[in-house]
Homo-oligomer: A and B are copies of this chain.
Amino acid sequence: MGDSQDTSFFIPCLAIVGPGLIGGSVAAALKAAGKVGQILGVGRDAAALQQAQQRGLIDQVASIEQAAAQAQVILLATPVGAMPELFAQLRKQLGPEVVITDVGSTKQTIVQQAKELLGTHFAQFVPGHPIAGAEKSGPQAARADLYQGRNVVLTPTKLTHDWAQQQIINLWEACGARVLLMDPQEHDQVLASVSHVPHFLSSVFMWQVASAENADLRLSVAGSGFRDFTRIAEGSAEVWRDIFMSNKQAVLQELQHIRAAFAQAEEALQSSDAQSLYEFLERAALARRLWATRSGFDE
C-alpha cells in the first residue's frame, strides 16, 4: 500500500496507555517517520514510564484525563484485562474527534466491552491487533522496525466512523505494517488457532519438562529445536492469562481439534503404523515450508 499512503497524515498529539514493547514501538516508528508531534505516556508502572521517557519513546507522562483532553489519538497498549476500566474512564472525558484504538490480541470481548462502556463514543473506537513479537516486553525492547512488513488486523464494526478507521490505517501504514480488515469473531478464531493455541502448547510442554524429576538433565541436552519451540512460553504470564480468559471459547474449541489430531498421530505411533506417521509428518512439513515461503518469514 506504500504509494497510496496519505502524505498529509500527522498526529499532533498521540497518547499511549502502556508504552511497553508494543506501544513503545509504535512511538518509535511514528517518530522515525515524522508522523507524530508530541507523545504522552499513560500508565500505572512509574518505572516503565520513566524508561520510556528516557528512551525518547514518550515526551511526557500524563494522566488518562490529560490524554483524553490533549490527544487526537489514544492507543491502548495494556494487557487486555485493563481495558474495561480505561473505556469507563475515557467515556467521561472524550471529545467527539478523538480516536481510540487498541492492540489487544483478542477482539470480540474488547469490542463488546467498548460498546457497553464507551457509550456514544463507541464509533470513535477502532479495534486493532498488530501481529508482532509479544515474547519480549517492556519499553527497553521497543524498536522502530517492529512492525515493518508485519500484519495488523483491524476489526471495525458497522458503527465505527470511517474517518476514525482511516486514521488508524494511516497510523499502522506509517509504521510499515500491512493492514487487514476482519470481523471480530473471525479474528478471534484464526488468532486462537495460530497464536493462542501455540502459546498454550508451548507453555504446557515447558511446564511439563520443568516439573519432571530429572528436569536438569533433560534441559542440559535441549537444543535449538527446543529453543524455538519454547520461545513463546517466555511471554508475560499476565498478558497471556488475559488473552486466554478473553478468548476462552475460541481457544477451547481449537484445543478440541488439537486433541483429536494429537490422538490420531499418537494412535499411528502406538500401532507402529509407519505409513500414516510418515504421511502426517510429511503433510505438516510441506505445509510449514509453503507457509515460510509465502509469508515472507522464510529463514
A positions within 8 Å CB-CB of B? 131-135, 150-151, 153, 180, 186-187, 190-191, 193-195, 197-212, 214-215, 217-238, 240-241, 244-245, 248, 251-252, 255, 257-259, 261-262, 265-266, 269-270, 272, 274, 277-285, 287-289, 291-292, 294-295, 297, 299
Alpha-carbon gap, A112 to B235, bound state (A): 42
A151 touches B248 (CB 8 A): no
B151 touches A204 (CB 8 A): no
Excluding A198-B225, A205-B258, 6 further A-B contacts by CB distance (< 8 Å) are A135-B224, A194-B222, A203-B280, A225-B232, A234-B289, A236-B285
Nearest 7 Cβ contacts at the A-B interface:
A210-B287, A237-B282, A237-B281, A203-B284, A131-B223, A206-B284, A198-B229
Alpha-carbon gap, A252 to B266, bound state (A): 8
**Inter-chain contacts of A153 with B (CB < 8 A):** 221
Minimum C-beta distance from A183 to chain B (A): 11
| Given A208-B261, A245-B277, A234 contacting B269 (CB threshold 8 A) | no
Q: Is the interface of A mostly helix, strand, loop or mixed?
A: helix
Alpha-carbon gap, A280 to B289, bound state (A): 32
Alpha-carbon gap, A170 to B140, bound state (A): 43
**Inter-chain contacts of A191 with B (CB < 8 A):** 221
A287 touches B201 (CB 8 A): no
**Inter-chain contacts of A230 with B (CB < 8 A):** 198, 288, 291
B272 touches A220 (CB 8 A): no
18 A/B residue pairs, CB under 8 Å, sorted by A = A131-B223, A135-B225, A186-B217, A187-B221, A198-B229, A198-B230, A203-B285, A207-B261, A207-B280, A207-B287, A219-B291, A227-B297, A227-B299, A231-B288, A233-B284, A241-B281, A252-B269, A259-B262
